[in-house]
Structure 1
Amino acid sequence: MTVTGQKQTACVRRRAPRPEWTGLLYIAPAMLLVIVFFVLPVGFTAWMSLHNWPLMGASRWIGFNNYFRMFNDGRFVAALNFTAYYTVIVTILIFAVAFPLALFVERQRAFVSTYRTIIFLPVVVGLASASLLWVWLANVDSGFISPALKALGLVEKSPNLLATFDSAFLTICVMVVWKIAGFTMIILLTGLQAIPADLTEAAVVDGASWWQRFRFLTLPLMRRTIALALIISVTGSILAFDQFYIMTSGGPQNRMISVVYYIFNQSFVSFNLGYGAALSIALLAILVIISVVQLWLLRVGEERS
């Protein structure tokens, strides 16, 4: 090899990309945010959960006593049961509304952009603001819903929709569906638009009915999209707090206290910060388990198909 060739080879070696830390530098800001606002708070919460941590005074190490306590806490079990019940009901309702809406706005038709905007508008309203709005709408004297029900002849007198468990629970579910269905619709619409048009046209040519196309083409191809929407909906429902705190304050008869509401009461009303931290860690573990199970079911379903 000539001297010139050796110099060129050396230059190539100097310029050749080495396993640099460039990629880590790019993600360093995001990693810093995750560490500061998630990892460290979770670690500190886990440390608090191992202590009797009063609002005032010194903390005292008690090990896993806070975790043993929650198994004998009937109110925490009741909050878990109510949260699970609420999560199942509201998730079903959201998908029952969002999926038909996504199918409706997926087709090109007149004013389809207007329809999408109108359906999505409630999403931009904060959950606390939406809860306050629906408290006013459900008010028996100055609201709109109760007089409308009476005017339609559905009830004899204007009911107080937030006075009983059944009516209050139904009102909250309707509010949440009104608030969240547009967001779920956008997620499902993205999955629908990602389905190749050639496959749908081929199914039509083969004589497949609408139900057959939906069952054997649309649903399998949207499996990941549906799983994402389901995880978001389930996680948001388990973490529900604002609507119960603002609309019913946990009533009637303390039957509408969610897990997060109970954690809030233990931490910032009773000032059992250590026990509240233990409940938070337990809730985090539940969310992780549910997400892992959903992703596992998704993978199993893909392998079978």
Structure 2
Amino acid sequence: MATVTQARPPAPTRPVPPARRRATIAGARRRLGLLYASPMALLVVVLFVVPLVLMVWMSFNHWPLLGASAPNGVENYSALQDPLFLRAVVFTLKYTAVTTVVLGLVAFGLALLVQETRPGVGAYRTALFLPSVVGLASTSLLFYGLFNTEASPLNELVRFLGLGPLDWLGSTDNALASTVGMITWRFAGFYMLILMTGLQSIDPLLYEAARADGANRWQILWRVTLPLLRPTLALTMVLSLTGSLLAFDQFFILTGGRHETATVVISVYREAFLSQDLGRAAAVSVAILAVLIVVNGAQLRLLRRGGR
């Protein structure tokens, strides 16, 4: 007689603790996040970290444009004491201060004018923003034609008014004022859009409460609008400072980068391609990068502290 064997029931599975399940899910999400971020991280390493390390290494070497390199310690950093470079530093700081103030005030004024939704305001916003889509080099070439002494449409207008032709780019002060005007025309619409977004994010109830307390327009601006706009102002100031300190195209095209209107980036260009010394150019670039990090970091910290 055959015996019938019964299969053993499967052993009961031990339930996974909730904490362990959450840790497993969190680990999977973390790995997935790293997988998604790895292409961008690789791009940052290739386009920023590697060139930065190479630039720092070049700054400690005699590195001609053509020929073999050789270590020379900190000798390249003597370029920071060159009188032409120091003059470029002074001019760059002057240009940065004037541009940041003028551009910031104009952009903020435009943002106040177009922030409210009313008939036709979209056309004004578009018209004010359009110059921002033109490249800076193209803008500089356009204004070079306007500022040209011999055949300048601006001088034709000035001559028609009986004021005589003006040398828009002849002196350092004229070149500075003309360039600041061009930069304001080029970037005011872009900064206006950023500031307008910040203004529209402020709760209208705060304005109504301020008016109910008897605040006038200036009090509302100083005590409500500006404090709440600090993060947006910080962004625009960082962009303006960085762009001004790294100015190159506008002065190189408008004035040829002559000594009186040379910026620190033009000094880097001269060291690299006119003097054919990439080591000294790298040393100046490292110094500029260090200044940008310190200035922007301090500015963001102060503005964040003031907004608390």
Q: TM-score, normalised by structure 1?
A: 0.92
Offset of 1:130 from its aligned partner?
0.2
**Cα pair 2:80 2:284 within 8 Å, conserved:** no
> In the alignment, does 2:22 pair up with 1:17?
no
Query: How far, CA to CA, are the matches of 2:52 and 2:80 in structure 1?
Result: 21
Name the counterpart of 1:107.
Answer: 116
User: Partner letter of residue 135 of structure 2?
Assistant: G
Q: Secondary structure at the match of 1:234?
A: helix
Please tell me whether the aligned partners of residues 228 and 307 of structure 2 are also in contact (alpha carbons under 8 angstroms).
Answer: no
Query: Residue 167 of structure 2 aligns to a residue in which SS?
Result: coil
Cα deviation for residue 64 of structure 1 reads 1.3
Matches within 5 A, 1:20-31: 20=28, 21-31=31-41
Match in the other structure for 2:103: 94
- 1:238 and 2:245 equivalent? yes
Change (3 A) 1:13 1:165: closer
1:35 aligns to what?
Answer: 45
Change (3 A) 1:202 1:48: same
**Uncovered stretches (5+) of structure 1, i.e. residues with no partner:** none
For 2:260 and 2:115, locate their aligned partners in 1 and report how far apart those are by CA, in whole Å: 40
1:150 to 159, 162, 166: 159
Which of 280, 302, 305 in structure 1 is aligned with 2:307? 302
Name the residue aligned to 1:173. 180
Kindly indicate whether the alpha-carbon contact (under 8 Å) linking 2:132 and 2:190 is maintained by their aligned counterparts in 1.
yes
Asked whether 1:274 is paired with 2:283, we answer no
Q: Tell me, which stretches of 5 or more residues in structure 2 are unaligned?
A: 1-9
Map of 1:203 onto structure 2: 210
- Residues 268, 151 of structure 1: alpha-carbon distance in 2 compared, 3 angstrom cutoff: same
Tell me the SS of whatever aligns to 2:25.
coil
In structure 2, distance between residues paired with 1:108 and 1:14: 51
The 2-side partners of 1:111 and 1:292 are apart by 40
TM-score of the superposition, structure 2-length normalised? 0.91
Please tell me the residue identity of whatever aligns with 2:247: A
Which of 115, 119, 127 is residue 118 of structure 1 equivalent to? 127
- Give CA deviations for 1:8-31 in whole Å, capped at 9, x if unaligned: 437995684142422111111111
Deviation for aligned residue 1:32 = 1.1
Does the residue aligned with 1:255 lie in a helix, a strand or coil? Answer: helix
Aligned to 1:195, the other structure's residue is in SS state: coil
The answer to whether residue 303 in structure 2 is matched with residue 293 in structure 1 is no
Q: CA, structure 1 residues 14+49, in 2 after alignment: closer, same or farther (shift >3 Å)? A: same
Give the aligned residue type for 2:221: F
- Which residue among 200, 209, 216 is the counterpart of 2:223? 216
Residue of structure 2 aligned with 1:264, choices 269, 274, 291: 269
| CA RMSD across the alignment | 1.9
Aligned equivalent of 2:60? 50
**In 2: Cα distance, 1:227 partner to 1:11 partner:** 44
Match of 2:288 in 1: 283
SS of residue in 2 equivalent to 1:27: helix
Rate the CA distance shift 1:230–1:7 in 2: closer, same or farther, 3 A. same
2:138 to 116, 126, 129: 129
Larger Rg: 2
Does structure 2 retain, via aligned residues, the 8 Å contact 1:140–1:147? no
CA–CA distance in structure 2, aligned partners of residues 115 and 41 of structure 1: 42
Residues 93 and 5 (structure 1), Cα distance of their counterparts in 2 relative to 1, 3 Å cut: farther
- One-letter code aligned to 1:214: L
Is contact 1:162–1:248 with CA below 8 Å preserved after alignment?
A: yes
Q: Does 1:227 align with 2:237?
A: no
Counterpart for residue 7 of structure 2: none
- Alignment match, 1:61: 71
Give 1:160 shift. Answer: 2.7
Distance, in Å, in 2 between the alignment partners of 1:81 and 1:5 is: 80
**C-alpha distance in 2 between matches for 1:26 and 1:240:** 35
Give distance in 2, aligned partners of 1:14 and 1:224. Answer: 40
